[in-house]
Amino acid sequence: MHDKLDPENLDPLRPGPPGVKAMNCHFDYLFARLQELVPGKRIVLLTDSNLAGLYTAAFSGHHLISFPAGESNKNQQTVDQVIRELIRMEAGKDTVLVGVGGGVVTDITGFVAAVYMRGIPFGLVPTSILAMVDAAIGGKNGIDVGIYKNLLGTIRQPGFVVYDYSFLNTLPVSEWVNGFAEVIKHACIRDANLFAMLERYSLHDFQGNLVLTAELVEKNVAIKSAVVHLDEFEKGERKILNFGHTIGHAIENLVGMPHGHAISIGMTAACNLSEKMGGLHFEEAKKVIRLLAKYHLPVDMEADHEKVFDVIRMDKKREGEDLNFILIDKIGHAFIMPLALETLRHHLKEIL
């Protein structure tokens, strides 16, 4: 599945933690040195309107395609627009499509690169916390079709992922908050030490200290890479990354709230369910909920349980009358529990 860009010939400034090498990540790498990663290749940058406006000077010197920012543009129409631009530029197999932006940009980049000419090489430069710790890692991409999120997509690994932390200087606070929902998720499912680190510091600390943020991002990349490495095509272990996402996605679809907020409410509900059915100690559940609130994420909301249940019934992860639900039995350890839909319906009222 890997593109032909040979990672062994690349010269990462810092190799990063174990497991990450397979994902071809280049930490603390200057965006200005992008061409060195793909000598002799033609780079076409793909970005959104916000980044194109903020980084005009940095992007000059490369071919550039930009599309209007926002999740509502992660669709076939944008894909068609990008493909028309690629044709106009006479982009071919010698072209490397490089997505510079948040998760919307990295998803569209991976998708277009997978289908254009049956596949061209691509690389990613994630610029939001969420894209750095999650969307750019693992090779999944997707576009939305109406209310159905990520209904179309492929799994195909990028040739490289470049981390230039200076992009974070312009990231709005609301997007830092969004990204930390996934950071807290990683801590809950895989890493009690990361959880303790998050308890020790605050959002303000991370925003004001990119060295500390780099350490945090790299820990998260290692966690996601390790999980994906075990199970690239989500047959088993990779499902634990969906902690908080079954209920979270349903709420996101229904209420249209930011992804991180919806996932935070989903994780709160999953902790409550973990306490009821998964052996999670009451105090540990409280610790998770306290941490979410500390990072300015919502932990409850008024929701119509039946409507939430109706959306969950349509979940991609449903198998017959069961749903694979992700629970934790302690902070740092998640497991998959097949749950009858009716059991979940019964509990939804109490756990939301």
Assign 258 to helix, strand or coil. Answer: coil
Site string for ligand NAD, 254-293 (x = CB under 6 A): -----x----------------------------------
Q: Name, in order, each residue with C-beta under 8 angstroms of 264's C-beta and a sequence gap of 6 or more.
A: 181, 184, 244, 248, 292, 297, 298, 299
The nearest distance, CB 340 to ligand NAD, in angstroms, is: 28
Give which of 293, 292, 287, 300 is closest to 331, Cα–Cα.
Answer: 287
Helix (H) or strand (E) holding 192: helix 192-200
Give which of 139, 151, 133 is closest to 110, Cα–Cα.
Answer: 139
Pick the binder of ligand NAD from 96, 130, 187, 262 (CB under 6 A): 130
Nearer to ligand NAD among residue 102 and residue 332 (C-beta): 102
The nearest distance, CB 39 to ligand NAD, in angstroms, is: 27
Q: Where are the beta strands (DSSP E) in the chain?
A: 25-26, 42-48, 63-67, 95-101, 122-126, 143-145, 148-152, 160-162, 318-319, 322-330, 333-340
Token pair listed for 68: 């209007």
What residues between 16 and 75 interact with ligand NAD by CB under 6 A?
A: 48, 50-51, 54, 69-71, 74
DSSP state at residue 134: I
DSSP state at residue 255: H
Which range in 80-88, 134-142, 184-192, 322-330 contacts ligand NAD by CB under 6 A? Answer: 134-142
Q: Is 234 in the site for ligand NAD (CB under 6 A)?
A: no
Distance separating alpha carbons of residues 123 and 142, to the nearest angstrom: 16
Nearer to ligand NAD among residue 3 and residue 107 (C-beta): 107
Pick the binder of ligand NAD from 5, 38, 104, 120 (CB under 6 A): 104
Assign 5 to helix, strand or coil. Answer: coil
The nearest distance, CB 177 to ligand NAD, in angstroms, is: 10
Pick the binder of ligand NAD from 150, 154, 272, 324 (CB under 6 A): 150
The nearest distance, CB 331 to ligand NAD, in angstroms, is: 22
Assign 256 to helix, strand or coil. Answer: coil
Residue nearest to ligand NAD (CB): 103
Q: Is 164 in the site for ligand NAD (CB under 6 A)?
A: no
The nearest distance, CB 127 to ligand NAD, in angstroms, is: 4
Which position has the token pair 């690994």? 157
Q: Is 218 in the site for ligand NAD (CB under 6 A)?
A: no
Catalytic residues: 118, 140, 182, 224, 234, 238, 242, 245, 249, 259
* Residue 260 Rama label (left phi>0; alpha psi -120 to 50; beta): alpha
Q: Is 138 in the site for ligand NAD (CB under 6 A)?
A: yes
Pick the binder of ligand NAD from 12, 99, 101, 159 (CB under 6 A): 101
Q: Report the interface residues with ligand NAD, using CB under 6 A.
A: 48, 50-51, 54, 69-71, 74, 101-105, 107, 127-128, 130-131, 134-135, 138, 140-141, 150, 167-168, 170-171, 175, 178, 259
